[in-house]
Structure 1
Amino acid sequence: MTIELIKSGLLTSIQDAGRRGYASLGLGRAGAMDEPSRRLANALVGNAHDQAVMEITLAGPTLCFREAAVIAITGGIIEARANGQALPPWTTCFLPAGTILRMGGMRHGCRSYLSVRGGFGVAPVLGSRSTDLHARIGPCGGRALRAGDAIATGHAAACSWFPGGNEMKALGWGLDPQPWLDYAQAPLALLRGHHFDALDDASRQMLFSGRFVISRHSNRTGTRLEGTTLQLRHPLELISEASVPGTLQLPPSGQPILLLAEAPVTGGYPRIGQLAAVDLPRLAQRRPGDAVCFTETSMDEAMDRLRRRDDALERLLRRIGQRLESA
Structure 2
Amino acid sequence: MSKEMNFDFMKLRHAASIMSILLVLISIGSLAVRGLNLGLDFTGGTLLEVQYEKPEALDKITGTLEAQGYRDVTVQNFGSETDVLVRMSEAFRDNLGNEVLGVLQSASADNQLTLMRSEFVGGQVGEELRDQGGLALLLALFVVMIYVAVRFQFKFSVGAVVALFHDVIIILGLFSLFQWEFDLTVMAALLAVIGYSINDTIVVADHIRENFRVVRRGDALEVINFSINQTLGRTIMTSLTTALVLFALMVVGGDIIHNFSVALMIGVVVGTYSSIFVASSLLVAMNISREDLIPPEVEEVDDRP
What interval of TM-score do these two structures reach, taking the shorter chain for normalisation? under 0.3
Q: Which has the higher strand share?
A: 1
The structure whose residues are more often helix, as a share, is 2
Which of 1 and 2 has higher RCO (CA within 8 Å, sep 6+)?
Answer: 2
Structure 2-normalised TM-score? 0.24
Between structure 1 and structure 2, the one with the greater Rg is 2
Q: What TM-score do the two structures reach when normalised by structure 1?
A: 0.23
